[in-house]
Chains A and B, each alone.
Chain A
Amino acid sequence: MKAMRWKTVIALALIAVFAIFAAGSASAAPKKGGVLKFVVGSKIPSYDAHVETTFGMIHPIRPFYSLLIRVNPNNPSSPTDFVCDVCEGSIPTPTEESTKYTFKIRDNIWFHDGQKLTAADVKATYDKIISPPKGVVSARKAFYTMVESVTAPDKNTLVFKLKYPSGAFVPALASPFNFIYRKADLDKHGYTWHKKNVNGTGAFRFVQHKPGAFVEGKRYAKYHHKGKPYLDGFRAISAPKMSIRLQAIRGGRASIEFRGFPPKARDDLKKALGGKLKVQESDWNCNLMITPNSKRAPFNDARVRRALTLAVDRWGGSKYLSRIAIVKTVGGIVFPKHPFAATKAELQKIAGYWPDINKSRAEAKRLLKAAGVDLSKTYIFNNRGVDQPYRVVGTWLIDQWRKVGLKFKQEVKPSPAFYDSLRKKKDWHVSIDFNCQSVINPLVDVSKFLSNDVSGSQHAQYQDRTMDKLYDQMNREADPAKQREIMRKYEKRALDTMAHQFVTLWWYKINPHRSDVKGWKIAPSHYLNQSLDQVWLDQ
């Protein structure tokens, strides 16, 4: 009788455990429905991802488009885990001594205008990205210097032929900026049509964009990843001021902001929302840069540019700025945790990273004097009207330069005007710039330091063929140890010897969001994992 009772107790306990487990599994299963509201802290310069480099465009527009391949949305922190999006199966293994990649394109994809997607559309897209006609901007064309040709032998096959084997190629393909456009749109409307029009194959259809207010998308029923998206729609609310974005999350008017908040904001939200808040944190493949205008005196002189970087106390800045801004790590041109990144000892040999800031600033003053810089003049510093981290770091930089006698007037502009100045007008002596990349891929991430006719995203206006040569050598080199060695030379020349452009600090990503937002995983980039097809609301 006693044994019988024990058996009953054990059976009941097992049932209870099973029930709890089953309930847990049920709550983890994605729920359909709901509209995700999120806040975006920057305006949309244009809808054309091949041209743009900002999250202000990616966050509201990426859900309308698909990519050839993408970072695994379930494992976005990995720099090597890629999955097919419009292609079929797994990422192809290269053939012909690792110089040929053949992708099979899915047969079940329709653009939002009802037309079927074929390999010709993907080819036309990559032609625009890799070899745009003269006058057409492609911000990341330098990522694809290894590509010899792109062909579409039939409607379901796409072939990339490389000039040489490159480990940087597949990660470059997974760039979230490589929106697949319809060939007929490009042929009929031209290469600028996508700046103001949307026609993709993404999880959501474009509904409307009220400039300065919001972008709205609704579920695309014929989305090629079956069963997705889970959401009925989304609304990307424009909120340039960080306090407004924070209040929106706090008050429940928005559930998430995908870019990142400073530590103080996270703590305030935690205090206010308690268990209703979830926080995800990650290192960030993004750094804030200083770009001197090499065509404008006195910054056409390498000594003056070198003085600019020598004046900046990065080690001290990291300690204090990380408390008030989304910057933290001192690093060179490569993502600090990557094996190709400079070690602390290596960094401390580069101008601007010396351990003794007084010695560094004394050298800066000497260089300015030797270059005959007029210290009574006020120079123009172009900055972006985004709270974090631009304005904070901009104000800090002006103070750093003041310490060596250089005076700057800060001109803060809204994103479209800022980009216009940075890219076209060049009406500044020094500008803030950023090197925010998506997939961690140092071999191409550092292409921003190439000559301006090669890079596509270098705004300092210099041409340095030695840099181009080193970059080419590095990309053609198969041995990682030798690649690293060349990277050091490339870095030294960019940051120190020629002082073309400088890195200030690397960013640190903190994403506090309402706990009912599920299915979204933080990545080391605010550009990644933004298709929203995995996201669901636990309501």
Chain B
Amino acid sequence: MAVSEITVEEVAAERNEPSHRRALRDWICRKPLGAAGAFVVLFFIFLAAVAELITVYDPVANSFESMHVPPGAAHWFGTDQFGRDILTRIIFGARTALLVGFLASVVGSTLGLVLGVTSAYFGGRFDLIFQRIMDVFMSFPLIIMALAVVSIFGTGIQNVILAITIPFIPRCARVVRSSALAVREIPYVDAARTLGFVHTRIILRHMVPNVMAPYLIMLTTFMGQAILLEASLSYLGLGVQEPTPAWGLMLQGGAEEYAESAPWIPIFPGLAITTAVFAFNLFGDALRDTLDPRLRSE
């Protein structure tokens, strides 16, 4: 017979600890990589929030006396061809990346959630037609779809958000719909119908909360993808424009031209993009493992 090694004090302490904190601690122990990802994401959010307080240089002001200064004590990440401090621009660039990442993924996923659940709820011909429309949207690769939207609406941060949001909608709708199809068959939905609740109430109050797990997983996955897409669009000259600090934009122009003679110009923004996307992906994977009941039971 196994003997418990937990002391009475430990059991008491565990009982006194709030449940959410305990759950968080358990999650960190079970998913250390996901926790590391979440930490990096929080770190970037912190940098973006207090950018003015922790930087000493102006992110957009030209300083030609300091052109192409290599990394050193005065400029930790060096300066670019306009003499701007690269670390400062990376910190301010986190704002652009996170703003685009959060807004595009939240709006895209939420619209996808509502549309996916609605499609599953009504089923029949509505579902059939709606899914074919989604098929059309999904037949375009993400970047091509985003490029098409930017070409129509033009460049600028709002249009970049729109360009990234649109291709996310069908992808989230498709995933959420598959979960919602199962939820639809559960008796409480029939019960709600029998009680005469309107469709909107059944969808939003009874079905949507039960498909939150895939929604949250898609949301975190999209954040990484949105940051990468924003960087790609800016790199192609179709995203945000100079002098706005943005990681993709920092890889464009001067970074290409001076890649050999001043490699710090492309290296640090490239690292920022890689780290942020990797962190969001780690966090998203861990979240999926936690929220997916099949993976959880394993």
Contact = CB atoms under 8 A, between A and B. Distances in A.
B154 interface: yes
A411 interface: yes
A394 B237 CA distance: 14
A243 B257 contact: yes
A426 to B, nearest CB: 15
B67 A394 contact: no
A477 B260 CA distance: 54
Contact of B237 (A324, A385, A395, A402): A385
Nearest to B65: A320
B241 A323 contact: no
A324 B155 contact: no
Interface string B239-256: 001110000000001101
Interface stretch (B8-16, B30-38, B56-64, B114-122): B56-64
B156 interface: yes
B237 A412 contact: yes
A410 B155 CA distance: 10
Contacts of B67: 320, 323-324
Nearest to A272: B260
A51 B254 CA distance: 33
A241 interface: yes
Given A324-B81, A411-B154, A412-B241, A268 B260 contact: yes
Given A268-B260, A412-B155, A394 B242 contact: yes
Contacts of B154: 411, 413
Contacts of B156: 409, 411
B241 A411 contact: yes
A302 interface: no
B256 A399 contact: no
Contacts of A264: 257-258, 261
Contacts of B268: none
Contacts of B62: 395-396, 399
B82 interface: yes
Interface in A294-316: 316
A262 interface: yes
Nearest to B254: A324
A241 B236 CA distance: 9
A494 interface: no
Contacts of B254: 324
Given A316-B64, A411-B155, A413-B155, A391 B242 contact: yes
A452 B60 CA distance: 35
A464 interface: no
A410 to B, nearest CB: 5
A411 B243 CA distance: 11
Contacts of A241: 256
Interface string A256-271: 0000001011001000
A146 interface: no
A264 B60 CA distance: 23
B243 A242 contact: no
A89 B261 CA distance: 52
B155 A395 contact: no
A395 B82 contact: yes
Contacts of B60: 398-399, 402
Interface residue tally on B, bucketed by range: 20 to 34
A538 interface: no
A262 B257 CA distance: 10
- Which of the four size classes fits the interface of chain A? 20 to 34
Contacts, number: 61
Interface string B255-284: 011111100000000000000000000000
A265 B257 contact: yes
A242 B257 contact: yes
Nearest to A325: B81
Contacts of B260: 268
Interface in A214-250: 241-243
Interface string B75-103: 00000011000000000000000000000
Contacts of A319: 64
A363 interface: no
B152 to A, nearest CB: 11
Interface in B181-209: none
Most buried by A among B156, B237, B258: B237
A392 B242 CA distance: 9
A387 B241 contact: no
Contacts of B259: 243
Nearest to A421: B154
B174 to A, nearest CB: 32
Nearest to A410: B241
Nearest to A394: B242
A316 B261 CA distance: 24
Interface string B118-158: 00000000000000000000000000000000000011100
Contact of A410 (B81, B243, B253): B243
Contacts of A409: 156, 241
B242 A398 contact: yes
B257 A398 contact: no
A395 B243 contact: yes
Interface centre among B61, B67, B243, B259, by most A CB within 10 Å? B243
Contacts of A412: 155, 237, 241-242
Contacts of A396: 62, 82
A387 B253 contact: yes
Interface in A338-394: 383, 385, 387, 391-392, 394
Contacts of B253: 387, 391-392
Contacts of A402: 60-61
A243 B237 contact: no
Nearest to B237: A385
A439 to B, nearest CB: 31
A398 B243 contact: yes
Interface of A: 241-243, 262, 264-265, 268, 316, 319-320, 323-324, 383, 385, 387, 391-392, 394-396, 398-399, 402, 409-413
Given A262-B257, A320-B67, 4 more contacts: A242-B256, A243-B259, A402-B60, A402-B61
Interface of B: 60-62, 64, 67, 81-82, 154-156, 237, 241-243, 253-254, 256-261
Which 6 pairs across A and B sit closest by C-beta, in order of nearness?
A: A243-B256, A320-B64, A399-B62, A395-B242, A410-B241, A324-B81
8 contacts: A264-B257, A323-B67, A387-B253, A394-B242, A395-B242, A398-B60, A399-B62, A399-B82
